[in-house]
Structure 1
């Protein structure tokens, strides 16, 4: 998948748990889709609340919130702002990669955050970020072996924007809105977080692709065509409908073909109406305004 630098090849020996600095254009997606509306929300918010952009940068690097941010601050100039802590201080929430053949970096968590930064004015493909290595599959004999290992480890989501299965060869080379496909159901799930589901309460690691499992299930349950997702009222009704369906699923019921039940995927037994109203009030306006300005 392209030509890799000697630096990238050398990093193929990094062990799981190590932190690595990469530019966004070095990261290869392990999924073909993102929820565009989630990206629109972030881009819209960053345009109005500039300090939130720097908070996102610092938090993603495991550095807490940002500080000393002013009109001259620039993500490509690290001397122009500060983060509260050194890189990796709060590493639990950092984005993750798997090392592939030739020292390639395969992003397994962070497609939305890094696609936002890819399309963010003043950031872009050359922006450097820190990621955490979870697995080193760089010793795979060939591409087929690598992707077999990735699938067995549940490190890739091989479906397109319509929920149809794809092959690894159909994955995009890079992040960003122009390279990724849109899955509107993934956006719906993002905006129902805290209203219809949350972090699973059971012990153990949160399942990979949790939001995609919910989105894939929702696709078979909800026809979103009648909802106008370009205006606030229509989007609110879609979120209400999605939330109602999600909480109606018994905790022991499997969520589609995910292999997990609703409780394991953090499903609630009733809608948190307060959280849903907050999302409609605080987040949807950014989505709607961004769409109106850019489409």
Structure 2
């Protein structure tokens, strides 16, 4: 009996050690629980997440599309009424995991093979906030960098900063240190940067995802948001009504498209490198307002248990 118990404990110890020392080569796809990935930013745009939460409340298929897309599986193909994202076998996506790697969320490998999320904080926080999901929800991610051979934590973060794979600023745009980053995802752990949502809602209206492989798209919206911050003070904006949001987005969008292609925006990147457009697209803005902004405003106007916590 003692021998069997010893073997069992030894097996558990070996498994734990194997997980801690597992190799994750760049380009590999790995399945993780959400509490295994550490944020590389302290802030998100709450309104962007509220927008998705509002749309999910109106149409639960939005949730399954988000799940499938984040796993590189396209959209949800078949979702029975009893399906849950905690049980992937209960529904179907268009494709197999990793079919569309460009849509997957990314991680960098750090010391001790810890995983640091470099893209996907909004999507994964949205999924984290779903009833019954939280930290145990399983998702697939792609490995885009391996700095596990860094000699010290300081060296690791220096490499992350040099590769533009960490955003070390708080909700007011003030610098923070790596140790001030939250350990976990979730709205309770992250701060709200309204400028991140403002820029996010201007996608395809004032900027588009750049094609250059030199730009790390993980924090593109934060670069633009930091550039807008001193030009468009938050106190002058009304982000609690659709019309107020429209006015704020028009003001921000016009500033963005007025920037010359060579204008330095943030962190050494120019407007052109960050996907800046030469002409503002009002039709695209109206589409974003109808499909996203209105849902965010409506969600904020009706208190929910999640909102009460923030």
Instruction: Go from structure 1 to structure 2 and tell me whether the alpha carbon gap of 1:218 and 1:8 turns closer, same or farther (over 3 Å shift).
Output: farther
Shift of the alpha carbon at 1:5? Answer: 4.6
- CA distance in structure 1 between the partners assigned to 2:213 and 2:181 by the alignment: 29
Q: Across the two proteins, how many residue pairs are aligned to each other? A: 289
CA contact (8 A) 2:165 2:216 kept: no
Where structure 1 has 5 or more consecutive residues not aligned to the other structure, the ranges are: none
- Superposed, 1:223-242 pairs within 5 Å as 223-242=233-252
Q: Which residues of 2 match residues 178-257 of structure 1 at below 5 A?
A: 178-201=188-211, 203-208=212-217, 209-255=219-265, 257=266
1:46-85 aligned within 5 A: 46-85=56-95
Q: Once the 2 structures are TM-superposed, how far is the Cα of residue 142 of structure 1 from its aligned partner?
A: 2.4
TM-score of the two chains, using structure 2 as the length reference: 0.89
Runs of 4+ in 1 over 6 A off after TM superposition: none
- Alpha-carbon shift at residue 140 of structure 1 (Å): 2.1
> Which stretch of the first structure deviates more once superposed, 137-146 or 188-197?
137-146
The answer as to whether partners of 2:32 and 2:138 remain within 8 angstroms in 1 is: yes
Match of 1:267 in 2: 276
Q: CA deviation at 1:32?
A: 0.7
Give matches, 1:81-230, under 5 Å: 81-201=91-211, 203-208=212-217, 209-230=219-240
| 1:285 corresponding residue in structure 2 | 294
- The structural deviation recorded for 1:150 is 1.1
**Highest Rg: 1 or 2?**
2
- In structure 1, C-alpha distance between the alignment counterparts of 2:81 and 2:34, rounded to whole Å: 24
Residue aligned with 1:250, SS: coil
- Long gaps (5+) in structure 2: 1-14
TM-score norm. by structure 1 comes to 0.94
- Which residue pairs with 2:5 in the alignment? none
Provide the C-alpha distance between the structure 2 equivalents of 1:82 and 1:180, rounded to a whole number of angstroms. 31
